[in-house]
Chain A
Amino acid sequence: MNRQLSRLALVAVVLLVALVAATTYWQAWAAGGLQDRQDNAVELVAQFQVARGLILADNGRPLAADRRVRRNGQTLYFRRYPQKGLAAQVVGYSTSARTQTGLEESLNDYLTGANTNLSNAIRRELAQLGGATVHGNNLVLTLDPAAQALALQQLGDRCGAVVAMNPRTGAVYVMASTPTYDPNLIDKPGGYAKILKIRGGCGDGSALLNNATAGLFTPGSTFKMVTAAAALDSGAFTPDSIFHDPGYCIEYGKKVSNAGNPDQKGPEAFGRVTLAQGFEHSINSVFCNVGKKIGAATILEYAKKFGFYSTPPLETPANERAPSGLYYNGKLEYPKHPDTAVDPGRLAFGQEHLAVTPLQMLLVASTIANGGVVPRPYLVQRIVGPDGSTVHTTRPDNLGRAIKASTAADLTQMMISVVQAGTGTAAQIPGVQVAGKTGTAETAVNHVYTAWFVCFAPADDPTVAVAVVLEKQLNGFGGAVAAPIAKLVLEKLLHG
């Protein structure tokens, strides 16, 4: 009988081993997925038993803090946002129903101290075993609250965005998006519905959308930075290349007119100009001819080098960032045969089907400021543990070289002229050389424009780059409505 008994013993042991395997599966493999599920009543409580880390601006002012609540013998920590709508779309929110957005969502593991760093895991385990409250890590952002507040105040009730960063390091100083909202409202009864109703001055804005990283706008003439970069870097043109501007450019046998100026009746005609002058005065016919010469494929290739057609890296959730490029029926598409499928003239001056995020245009300007290397943008400079030790420090990084340093230098000169004598004179700052580019993109409605200004300063040693976009501006030219905002933000960031 003993043989059968041994076999039975084996069966019994196999049954128990299966249980060990299944337990391992649920606690090690599947645990992460289960913890993220909305109907998880255990996490719903457990998450709020952790004193969530703070989110701080670069001067230490809290953007997100904790609200301690004693309820049924449990100490729970809920969120409050002392700065209200200051950086609402960046910081995001974390509600008592566990919905999260922004950095609250993407860096939740750090904020709840659940990030899998060994010493952190041990510390958390010990704190738990000792019955102490687990404290999360604090995030120290790169945002400058004063400049951020100024940007928001300047945007006012207009829909748009202001983004600013250090073009050398990629540290984001300002990321303002309007319309904005008060994240404290989310947890209040009816608050979320109220936020959804916010439309802003443009009438169709969305407060929850981060316009700086996910808002898609027609770039208009700011895209001439990319076209000019392609023209110069490919060797097809120099800044001194001569063009004849009759006030229009002929494409497919049709006239494509220059844009009008606010103080003039019809389109301007500049006659004999250089490429640099064409850039300074943002002459569409010049760029139309550049586009026809170098072709849509070359322009798109350079756009890609600047980061178009990929979602720019940042700490916010990936679904809150959008890639820039040609959008057909709301879908990003890289044409199979750009030279036949895309109108090169209209692409060259930023119309066609182009849709870009303010962050992407800021990256273009920053690349020029940074000698042709695309900086990697970041919002979190440091993550600090509950004991004050630094858990993580962001090291400035780059996304590769887009253009030659000499091309970047030529473009910088052309952008300086824009501010000194061209379309962007409103951005002049006494004692500081500003390099910039205006943009006034046509919309579906006549005389209503998307106004842009993208710039950096000081031009010889750039420390700040700014991009401003304003939606639906009636007769609003980039140089007239966007440049003054960029100037104020630049001043704030340069001089404090």
Chain B
Amino acid sequence: MIGVAAFAVTLLAFRRDYRVLENYKYLFGLGAVGLLFMPLLPGIGQTVNGARLWVHAGPFQIQPGELGKVALIVFLAAYLREKREVLAQGRVKDWGPLLVIWGGAMLVLFVTDDLGSALLYYGIFLAMLYAATARLSFVVVALGLFLAGSAAVYQGTPHVRERVTNWLDPWTTHKVFCPLSGTMTLRQDCTSYQEVQSLYSIAHGGYGGTGLGSGTFTNTQGHQIIPYLNTDFIYSALAQELGLAGASALLLIYMVFVLRGFRVSLLAGDGFSKLLAAGLTFGFALQTFIIVGGILRVIPLTGITLPFVSYGGSSIVSNFLLLAGLMLVSHRANVEVEGR
């Protein structure tokens, strides 16, 4: 509901020309940074499932990073549109912003303990940087820096190390130390429990799924088998109930959405619109990849949400904002094409 409202308001507010946003790019940049670091503020920040991604204000719990993502894309689109020629020359002094963003992403990663968010923001940044400058070398260098930073964080952060271990070896045949209970247990009964049960849930779906509403998510005692089923692990619930056919269909819809998004970006008449549409779309695809890939053991599991599907207010609002943005760009592109 709030998502649809945000969607409608955005459409209405910027129906004439959303490009005024360009003028407030630094405001968006600052806003993005503020939102990203908000969960760290003492008092309102909250650690859920090992990652500090939440803020609670009164009865509401929000993930400000979700809104921060949209703000970041707006900022980057505006900033890169302006500086693309300069950046493309590749002078050392122009690498400054890049390093700042790298530092920012690393900081986010380090302080929120969440590899997924850092990967998402940084990935969006790299994609937009590449689109703006056409310099693949930037991307390569930046990826190298990211890997180096990740390795350092891996060394320094037990939570990230645990995620990576769970990713590589979710099942053990011998007992290992379980930090949750302080005893020796099999890893699948301890830290990798959710990942493993989520895979079981997916496998149970098979080709055709169990049918909507008839999936098995509670044990014989009536307890939920996977604790974060409706948010982090929504995909494993869907995959069980819809099966391979349904899950693939969902991913295909996402694919169509992504292709349409890039089409909008290709058709758009000005650099800001192009970058905005591409950034929003790529962010959408990358976010899907990071969360679903985490569940499917393609990459380590992280705590970000699945666009449009996860049961999370912030995520839904931000994704409707994303959709509104794309529609605005698309509308403008069409008007321009017709005007010619």
Interface residues of B in 186-245 (CB under 8 A from A): 186, 188-189, 196-197, 199-208, 210-211, 213-214, 216-222, 225, 239-240, 243-244
With A42-B197, A128-B210 as contacts: A26 and B130 at CB distance below 8 Å: no
Interchain nearest-CB distance for A49 vs B (Å): 7
Interchain nearest-CB distance for A371 vs B (Å): 47
Does B265 reach chain A (CB closer than 8 Å)?
Answer: yes
- Judging by beta carbons under 8 Å apart, are A16 and B289 in contact? yes
- Judging by beta carbons under 8 Å apart, are B298 and A18 in contact? yes
- Judging by beta carbons under 8 Å apart, are A12 and B281 in contact? yes
With A12-B281, A129-B211 as contacts: A43 and B251 at CB distance below 8 Å: no
Q: 18 interchain pairs (CB within 8 A)?
A: A1-B134, A2-B274, A6-B262, A9-B262, A12-B282, A15-B285, A15-B293, A18-B293, A19-B296, A19-B298, A24-B248, A26-B203, A27-B243, A27-B247, A28-B206, A42-B203, A45-B216, A96-B220
Inside 8 A of A43's CB, which chain B residues have their CB?
200, 204
The docked-state distance in angstroms from the alpha carbon of A96 to that of B252 is: 39
Q: Which of A16, A30, A37 contacts B254 (CB 8 A)?
A: A16
- Judging by beta carbons under 8 Å apart, are B274 and A1 in contact? yes
Inside 8 A of B259's CB, which chain A residues have their CB?
9, 13
The docked-state distance in angstroms from the alpha carbon of A3 to that of B265 is: 11
Does B111 reach chain A (CB closer than 8 Å)?
Answer: no
The docked-state distance in angstroms from the alpha carbon of A30 to that of B210 is: 17
Does B305 reach chain A (CB closer than 8 Å)?
Answer: no
- Judging by beta carbons under 8 Å apart, are A4 and B202 in contact? no
Interchain nearest-CB distance for A35 vs B (Å): 6
Chain B residue nearest to A17 in the complex (CB): B255
Does B40 reach chain A (CB closer than 8 Å)?
Answer: no
With A23-B202, A125-B208 as contacts: A72 and B220 at CB distance below 8 Å: yes
Does B33 reach chain A (CB closer than 8 Å)?
Answer: no
Does B107 reach chain A (CB closer than 8 Å)?
Answer: no
Interface string of A174-206 (1 = CB under 8 A from B): 000000000000000000000000000000000
- Judging by beta carbons under 8 Å apart, are A31 and B203 in contact? yes
Give the number of chain A interface residues (Cβ < 8 Å). 51
Does B297 reach chain A (CB closer than 8 Å)?
Answer: yes
- Judging by beta carbons under 8 Å apart, are B207 and A71 in contact? no
- Judging by beta carbons under 8 Å apart, are A5 and B199 in contact? no
Does B327 reach chain A (CB closer than 8 Å)?
Answer: no
* Top 8 A-B pairs, shortest CB-CB distance: A72-B222, A12-B285, A9-B262, A22-B296, A129-B211, A34-B203, A31-B203, A15-B289
- Judging by beta carbons under 8 Å apart, are A23 and B296 in contact? yes
- Judging by beta carbons under 8 Å apart, are A16 and B288 in contact? yes
With A8-B127, A27-B206, A131-B211 as contacts: A42 and B274 at CB distance below 8 Å: no
Q: Which of A5, A25, A34, A73 contacts B266 (CB 8 A)?
A: A5
Chain B residue nearest to A19 in the complex (CB): B292
The docked-state distance in angstroms from the alpha carbon of A1 to that of B282 is: 15
Interchain nearest-CB distance for B29 vs A (Å): 21
With A4-B130, A5-B278, A15-B289 as contacts: A23 and B255 at CB distance below 8 Å: no
Does A76 reach chain B (CB closer than 8 Å)?
Answer: yes
15 extra interchain contacts, Cβ-Cβ under 8 A, other than A23-B292, A39-B188? A4-B131, A5-B265, A11-B127, A12-B281, A13-B255, A15-B286, A22-B297, A23-B244, A23-B247, A24-B244, A27-B243, A41-B200, A42-B200, A43-B204, A72-B218
- Judging by beta carbons under 8 Å apart, are A8 and B204 in contact? no
Q: Which of B189, B255, B289 contacts A39 (CB 8 A)?
A: B189
Q: Name the residue among A2, A15, A76 with the largest chain B CB count within 10 angstroms.
A: A15
- Judging by beta carbons under 8 Å apart, are A8 and B197 in contact? no
- Judging by beta carbons under 8 Å apart, are B244 and A9 in contact? no
With A6-B266, A13-B255, A45-B216 as contacts: A40 and B200 at CB distance below 8 Å: yes
- Judging by beta carbons under 8 Å apart, are A128 and B214 in contact? yes
Does A74 reach chain B (CB closer than 8 Å)?
Answer: yes
Q: Which of A20, A23, A46 contacts B204 (CB 8 A)?
A: A46
The docked-state distance in angstroms from the alpha carbon of A28 to that of B278 is: 34
Inside 8 A of B248's CB, which chain A residues have their CB?
20, 23-24
Interface residues of A in 57-84 (CB under 8 A from B): 71-74, 76
Does B73 reach chain A (CB closer than 8 Å)?
Answer: no
- Judging by beta carbons under 8 Å apart, are A12 and B286 in contact? yes
Q: Name the residue among A16, A45, A49, A76 with the largest chain B CB count within 10 angstroms.
A: A16
Inside 8 A of A20's CB, which chain B residues have their CB?
248, 251-252
The docked-state distance in angstroms from the alpha carbon of A43 to that of B219 is: 9
Interchain nearest-CB distance for B137 vs A (Å): 13
- Judging by beta carbons under 8 Å apart, are A41 and B210 in contact? no
Interchain nearest-CB distance for B141 vs A (Å): 17
Interchain nearest-CB distance for A43 vs B (Å): 7
Interchain nearest-CB distance for B321 vs A (Å): 19
Inside 8 A of A39's CB, which chain B residues have their CB?
186, 188-189, 196
Inside 8 A of A35's CB, which chain B residues have their CB?
200, 203-204
Does A44 reach chain B (CB closer than 8 Å)?
Answer: yes
Inside 8 A of A44's CB, which chain B residues have their CB?
219-220
- Judging by beta carbons under 8 Å apart, are B278 and A34 in contact? no
- Judging by beta carbons under 8 Å apart, are A23 and B239 in contact? yes
Does A48 reach chain B (CB closer than 8 Å)?
Answer: yes
Interchain nearest-CB distance for A463 vs B (Å): 45
Inside 8 A of B274's CB, which chain A residues have their CB?
1-2, 5
- Judging by beta carbons under 8 Å apart, are B239 and A27 in contact? yes
The docked-state distance in angstroms from the alpha carbon of A39 to that of B188 is: 8
The docked-state distance in angstroms from the alpha carbon of A22 to that of B252 is: 14
The docked-state distance in angstroms from the alpha carbon of A133 to that of B288 is: 34
- Judging by beta carbons under 8 Å apart, are A12 and B244 in contact? no
Interchain nearest-CB distance for B333 vs A (Å): 13
- Judging by beta carbons under 8 Å apart, are A19 and B293 in contact? yes
Inside 8 A of B208's CB, which chain A residues have their CB?
125
Interchain nearest-CB distance for A70 vs B (Å): 11
Inside 8 A of B244's CB, which chain A residues have their CB?
23-24, 27-28
